[in-house]
Structure 1
Amino acid sequence: MQLAATRIITDDVDRLVDFYERITDLKAVRLHPLFAELRTASATLAIASSATVPLLGENAAEAGANRSVMLDFLVEDVDHSASSLRSVVTEFVSGPADMPWGNRSLLFRDPDGNLINFFSPLDADARSRFER
């Protein structure tokens, strides 16, 4: 089995696509006006309009209601990312800070309130977890 994608349901696809393009330096692939994907070598972040929810099942998802899932992005340098994000991110949660499991992390929220973690492994043991 392979996790193919993580999908965010939003009331404003264009706003969220713009935000994620800016923080990741990736260009989204727009498959439909209601759906886009940001593709990396290891995972895809999909962004879909709340107008697609009825296709999934009645009340299957609710835009802007996530308070339990975090999106983790492996970055080269957390501190450099923190300074470059200041013009894009309006809500920083914490960091940059060293975590006891060997990562340096910066937590912030996207425009819909979803929690994002930009992290970098601090040592060889931590880096080895992300080698493919």
Structure 2
Amino acid sequence: MDFASVRMITDDLDRLVVFYEKITGVLAKRPAPVFAEFVLPSCTLAIGHSQTVQLFGAGSARAADNRSVIIEFRVRDVDAEYARLKPLVADWVQEPTTMPWGNRSALFRDPDGNLVNLFAPVTEEALERFSRH
């Protein structure tokens, strides 16, 4: 089994696509008007309009209803990304902080309320852990 992507469901596809284009610096691929993908070197982030949920069966997902998943992006320099994104992000949850497990991290919410973590391993142990990836 191969992990393929994470897909978010939204009622405002264009708004979320523009937001993640600014955050990632990657232009989304739009194979259909109700679907977009950010194909990054390490993963794919997909965004589907709430209209697509009907294709999977009624009630299978709800737009902007996530409080249990954190979307994480590994970056080179958390503090530099924080400075770059500060004017673009309305809801910062945590300014850059070094976590007990050795990652420097900054957290914010996207326009739909999804929690996003920018992180970089900074301690020797964390750097060793991520050198295997």
Unaligned runs of 5+ in 2: none
2:29 match: 29
Deviation at 1:41, TM superposition (A): 1.4
Amino acid at match of 1:77: D
Give me the CA root mean square deviation.
1.0
1:106 match: 106
Residues 1-132 of structure 1 mapped to structure 2, 5 A cutoff:
1-131=1-131, 132=133
Deviation at 1:128, TM superposition (A): 3.1
Q: What are the superposed Cα offsets for residues 72-129 of structure 1, whole Å, 9 maximum, x if unpaired?
A: 1000100011111112100000121010111000000000000000001003431233
In 1, the alpha carbon distance for the partners of 2:127 and 2:44 equals 21
Deviation at 1:130, TM superposition (A): 2.9
In 1, the alpha carbon distance for the partners of 2:91 and 2:110 equals 8
Give the secondary structure class of the aligned counterpart of 2:3.
Answer: coil
Deviation at 1:40, TM superposition (A): 1.1
In 2, the alpha carbon distance for the partners of 1:17 and 1:43 equals 16
Using the size of structure 1 for normalisation, the TM-score is 0.96
Using the size of structure 2 for normalisation, the TM-score is 0.95
Structure 1 runs, 4 residues or longer, greater than 3 Å off: none
Amino acid at match of 2:49: S
Amino acid at match of 1:88: L
Question: How many pairs align?
Answer: 132
Deviation at 1:47, TM superposition (A): 0.4
Give the secondary structure class of the aligned counterpart of 1:130.
Answer: helix
Q: Name the % identity.
A: 52
